[in-house]
Every structure is written in C-alpha cells, then in structure tokens.
C-alpha cells in the first residue's frame, strides 16, 4: 500500500494526496493498493507546479489497526519534530496520531532515495 506526499509550495507544510486534493493529515491520505493508480496520481501531482514541491510515493503499513508510513522519516514528517511535541500535526492529537507514534518496523522509503538524488 502506498500514499502520495509532498510539501506545499506556499508554506512548506507536509501534505498528502486525496483524490486530486492535498490534505494535511496523513489519516486523510488516499491509499493506493494499485501501483498504476499511484503512479498516475504522482504524475498528476508533479504537474501541479504552483501547489506542491517534490511529490513522491511512500510505503505505508498497518499500525494499531490504522495506517502509518513505513519509514521512520515519513512518520516524523507526518507527526512533527520529536523535540517539540507541541509543534507539527502531533499537537492536534487523536487516534490517528497515536497510531503513527506507536508504529514500528521501518525501511527507507523509495521516495526519499529519489529526493536525495535530486538535492
């Protein structure tokens, strides 16, 4: 299963793709079981030059009955910095945030490798 993420151009906020729109919470992200659908969405996102920067696909796993990004880095992006728990989306709390915080098992996301190559 995969999700599509990027940073919003205007403010840099971490955002997730949901049926042609961008949402701020990972819990609202559209999940793709089908690779072709995911890649089609990614291509469309990449054409939205004034909305989002560097969109890429990430792997997700099941955690506490909910979904969470597989890689540790992506979980930090979805939550906020661990040294300032009052900052980032983690400050909003909720079941989905708790699931992200408790998620285990990680692998470097393929999206990140591509990002590093671009830097």
Residue pointed to by tokens 């205007």: 10
**Smallest separation, CB 80 to another protein (Å):** 6
Contacting positions for another protein (CB under 8 A): 7, 9-14, 49-50, 53-54, 70-73, 76-77, 80-84, 87-88, 106-109, 115-116, 119
Residue among 14 and 63 whose Cβ is closer to another protein? 14
**Smallest separation, CB 86 to another protein (Å):** 9
Residue among 37 and 102 whose Cβ is closer to another protein? 102
7 contacts 52 by C-beta, under 8 angstroms: yes
Beta-bridged to residue 32, according to DSSP, are: 2
Residue among 44 and 87 whose Cβ is closer to another protein? 87
User: H or E element: which one contains 36?
Assistant: helix 35-46
Residue among 11 and 36 whose Cβ is closer to another protein? 11
**Smallest separation, CB 91 to another protein (Å):** 11
**Smallest separation, CB 36 to another protein (Å):** 25
Which two structure tokens, joined as six digits, stand for 67? 């979904």
Q: Which of 6, 116, 115 is nearest to 50 (CA)?
A: 6
Evaluated on CA atoms 48, 110, 39, 96, the torsion sign reads: negative
């Amino acid at each position: 299963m995969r999700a599509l993420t990027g940073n919003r151009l205007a403010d840099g906020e971490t955002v997730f793709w949901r049926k042609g729109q961008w949402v701020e919470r990972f819990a609202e992200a559209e999940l793709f079981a089908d690779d072709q659908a995911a890649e089609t969405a990614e291509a469309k996102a990449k054409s939205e030059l004034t909305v989002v920067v560097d969109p890429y696909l990430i792997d997700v796993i099941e955690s506490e009955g909910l979904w969470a990004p597989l890689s540790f880095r992506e979980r930090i992006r979805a939550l906020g910095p661990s040294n300032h728990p009052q900052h980032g989306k983690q400050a909003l709390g909720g079941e989905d945030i708790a699931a992200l915080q408790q998620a285990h098992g990680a692998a470097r996301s393929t999206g990140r490798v591509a990002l590093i190559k671009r830097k």
